[in-house]
Structure 1
Amino acid sequence: MENRYEKYKDSGIAWIGNIPEHWEVKKLGHLYIPRNEKVSDQDYPALSVTMQGVLLQLENVAKTNDGDNRKLVKIGDFAINSRSDRRGSCGISKYDGSVSLINIVLTPINDMNPVYYEWLFHSSLFSDEYYRWGHGIVNDLWTTRWQEMKNIQIVAPPLHEQQLIAAYLDQKCGEIDELITLQEEMITKLQSYKQSVITEAVTKGLDKNVPLKDSGIEWIGEMPKHWNICKLKNIFLLSTGTTPKDFDQTSEEDNLINWYTPSDILDSCNDLFSSQRKLSEKVIYANKISLFPIGTLLYVGIGASAGKVGYANENGYSNQQITGLIPLNCYSRFYFYYLSALKDKIRDNAFFTTLPIINNAYLGQELIPFPTLSEQQSIANYLDQKCSEIDELISIKQQKIEKLKDYKKSLIFECVTGKRKV
């Protein structure tokens, strides 16, 4: 590796390994003291300890009724969430404020560069070590308290090297974050482009020269003159799924069938090849369940994900939150794209209680365009190819983001542990 120190020694800390010979090892309790003063969020604004650092609490986050029982945080304090399900949530506060009692608030007590230690504490291997010292009943409720945290050993470079490392990581990680943001913006543009391609194809067709007419459907506008309008129930059989009895009697030795839930359906257009849970044939027969055949559209009709739709490439079934749209006299893949593209329009007109509900009666009455069957197939084939090309570009961007994140993670660890000389 480039830019190494001349001599190294064993730190005696398994997750850190060798460190530069002149660096020290100290316990956390020799570098920080806890701030445990309890305050009210009426006197000190509420802050959130997140993976992006200590931030002003957003208005829409869940709040407790215990606003008078919070911890004081002062500018320059370091706060870290003690719960393992909030792994990596920590940072130096830029504000005077208050945080939930599940956070540990620390004040530096010696000459140090706090930003260096903030980078150290954001490393994934420190997070592993931090929660290794914790306690609890289950992993996601594992908690590390100060009496354990203070005994964690970490490295302590000379102050001037801490400053160099902190400045270097601020610059380099800032550059990496800009590259990540650029890739994310490009993904957003590609997703918007994909949406526009789908919407244009399923509402206007592929022939740009064909005469148009008013569809009578507000969010479609004009459509090809020779297309018809029909109700969704006229071309699909609507069948709501269910959760069968004796579900858990399914075993791996049985002949298994897909049983879909809303979590199997992604936010973007997706095929459904396999589900997270399966039903055995004996459970299906015992409950007299009629399977959804290949080509069925699985439409989420209730809950936060209402409006999402998947295309079943295998026989399967679903729970009661999903309606199976079984094609009668249409090419269902065309309508897979149509419903995916216009899900927000349909959802906006749905019935709301505490959650959106798109019931079968409402969905069946939905007016939809009806091109000729040959056009439906041609449009679907075109979108299969076009969306595949766009998805491939998105995948490449996502892979670049993952590589940048991995590089950032390794860069931080190498610098804060002296594997790379700054």
Structure 2
Amino acid sequence: MTKSLGSHPTYENYRDSGVECYGSVPAHWKTLANKYIFALNKNLVGKNSSRYTLLSLTLGGIIKRDMDNPEGKFPAEFDTYQEVAPGDFVFCLFDVEETPRTIGLSSLHGMITGAYTVFRPRRKFDEEYLQYLYLSLDSGKRLRFLYKGLRNTIPKDVFLAFKSLTPPIQEQRLIARFLSIKTAQIDQAIRTKKHQIELLKERKQILIQRTVTLGLDPDAPMRDSGIEWIGQIPAHWEVVFNRRLFREKSRPVQGDELPLSLSQVDGVVPSDEMKERSLSPAHRKNFKLCFPGDLVVNRFKGHLGVFFESAFEGVVTFHYGVFVPQKGVVTKYFEHLFHTEPYKTIYAGASNGMTVGLQNLSNNNFYAIKSLLPSVDEQTEICSYIEDHSARIDQAANNISSQIERLKEYKASLINSAVTGKIKVPGVVEPAELKEREFA
């Protein structure tokens, strides 16, 4: 499906468009100022906002805002919001460089923030073609030469003076139809590959859970663990309280240690490498020193399995728990064990607080949890097995992720090539060809 763009036919005759972001275009295509294509359509809803559906401009286009599970801030009143009708274009003409998607064609009737600009296309222009044209310009942020000011704003008069590419209306429709079919196929392929990644993640989680609770010997005699959610375990394994496995220990902080953060994805990492948002306190009062091999716990996310072995020496915020492994404990094994769904459930029940995100796992409750304890050699072998097999699964997932990125790149290139005439879509007949047919 993702054949190279070079396999598509091109037009016979090209000319310079005279517009920086288009380059050469088919000779019979025109460029037309947006004031002849779009009409500004600012109808404020005023006191009638209760009659309108609240809309948002997202990466997926213009959607109905979820009021049952609202996210983000809402104004005290919506009087300054503006009406949007099916067929209207919504543009975010400020912070263009930083905004992931700044254009949407609405299929809904509702209202949207007055900060956006709503245009209604004039007759004799295909809405879908115009949407693909501006999605392509936006995805590549190729309108930088129109920006004004520190907020990378495109003033309305500048936008209305900008020239859009306008093939003959029949070509616009053929291009839109071609892209609608092709992008749907690409999107379906991406969804399929994302599902494959989810299956790999599930397979990895099952492998880890099976290994840390059942061991590596399929013929080992089994017995009931006595722990709800766990079930059968190898008969020679122990079941002990966490207080026997880990103990929190206070160590003096000098003030020049490496600042560390706890990521739900990457574990214990230097704070300056943290991908997620983290706190940067002005001082290190009550900070905790941790060493390689320590178990670091986010007390508020124990129910999410945020337990990680530290590979670094440094300091973490006092909100975290830092536990020193006792004799016979391989911390990495317990990191894997506490990431399993049964232990997430166990820690959810041991955390205090009814509000999600504010469920605190106290030391006493952590110590009172029972955990599985294979021998040191088995813990080490299990960790090596998980590391080896997880690496293979992760590599397979990474390969599929690379395929997804290539599909996205192909989709963007395909759209750009079609809307700017770098390729000729099926069904298009150039004017010169028409003349030849008339005299044939």
TM-score of the aligned structures, taking structure 2 as reference length: 0.81
Q: Is the 8 A contact 1:202 1:334 kept in 2?
A: yes
Residues 325/395 of structure 1: CA separation in 2 closer, same or farther (3 Å cut): farther
Residues 288/108 of structure 1: CA separation in 2 closer, same or farther (3 Å cut): closer
State the shift of 1:87 in Å.
2.5
- Tell me the alpha carbon deviations over residues 140-183 of structure 1, each in whole angstroms, 9 at most, x when there is no partner: xx544533432333211111111111011101111100110000
> What is the alpha-carbon distance in structure 1 between the residues aligned to residue 248 and residue 49 of structure 2?
51
1:76 aligns with 2:77: no
Q: 1:61 aligns to what SS in structure 2?
A: coil
State the shift of 1:299 in Å.
2.3
Q: Structure 2 residue aligned with 1:298, among 287, 296, 303?
A: 296
Aligned alpha-carbon RMSD (Å) = 3.0
Q: Is the 8 A contact 1:258 1:277 kept in 2?
A: no
State the shift of 1:195 in Å.
0.8
Q: Give the letter aligned to residue 344 of structure 1.
A: K
State the shift of 1:124 in Å.
5.1
State the shift of 1:117 in Å.
0.9
> What is the alpha-carbon distance in structure 2 between the residues aligned to residue 121 and residue 420 of structure 1?
17
TM-score of the aligned structures, taking structure 1 as reference length: 0.84
State the shift of 1:28 in Å.
2.2
> What is the alpha-carbon distance in structure 2 between the residues aligned to residue 12 and residue 242 of structure 1?
68
Give ranges in structure 2 of 5+ residues lacking alignment. Answer: 1-5, 275-283, 426-440
Q: Is the 8 A contact 1:53 1:89 kept in 2?
A: no
Residues 364/134 of structure 1: CA separation in 2 closer, same or farther (3 Å cut): farther
Q: Of the two, which has the highest radius of gyration?
A: 2
1:61 aligns with 2:70: yes
Q: How many residues align?
A: 398
Q: Is the 8 A contact 1:35 1:105 kept in 2?
A: yes
Residues 378/369 of structure 1: CA separation in 2 closer, same or farther (3 Å cut): same
Q: Give the letter aligned to residue 355 of structure 1.
A: G
Match of 2:397 in 1: 394
> What is the alpha-carbon distance in structure 1 between the residues aligned to residue 135 and residue 217 of structure 2?
54
> What is the alpha-carbon distance in structure 2 between the residues aligned to residue 394 and residue 300 of structure 1?
27
> What is the alpha-carbon distance in structure 1 between the residues aligned to residue 252 and residue 13 of structure 2?
66
Paired residues for 1:76-155 under 5 Å: 76-84=87-95, 85-123=98-136, 125=138, 128-130=141-143, 133-135=146-148, 137=150, 142-155=152-165
Match of 2:280 in 1: none
Q: Give the letter aligned to residue 344 of structure 2.
A: D
Match of 2:367 in 1: 364
1:345 aligns with 2:345: yes
Give ranges in structure 1 of 5+ residues lacking alignment. Answer: 248-256, 279-285
- Tell me the alpha carbon deviations over residues 365-408 of structure 1, each in whole angstroms, 9 at most, x when there is no partner: 32211111111111111111111111111111111111101111
> What is the alpha-carbon distance in structure 1 between the residues aligned to residue 347 and residue 186 of structure 2?
38
Q: 1:42 aligns to what SS in structure 2?
A: helix
Q: Is the 8 A contact 2:59 2:101 kept in 1?
A: yes
> What is the alpha-carbon distance in structure 2 between the residues aligned to residue 103 and residue 97 of structure 1?
14
Match of 1:51 in 2: 59
State the shift of 1:67 in Å.
3.1
Q: Is the 8 A contact 2:286 2:318 kept in 1?
A: no
> What is the alpha-carbon distance in structure 2 between the residues aligned to residue 100 and residue 243 of structure 1?
50
Q: Is the 8 A contact 1:205 1:224 kept in 2?
A: yes
**Percent identity of paired positions between Structure 1 and Structure 2:** 25
Q: Give the letter aligned to residue 418 of structure 2.
A: C
Q: Give the letter aligned to residue 352 of structure 2.
A: F
1:9 aligns with 2:15: yes
> What is the alpha-carbon distance in structure 1 between the residues aligned to residue 311 and residue 56 of structure 2?
44
Q: Is the 8 A contact 1:8 1:19 kept in 2?
A: yes
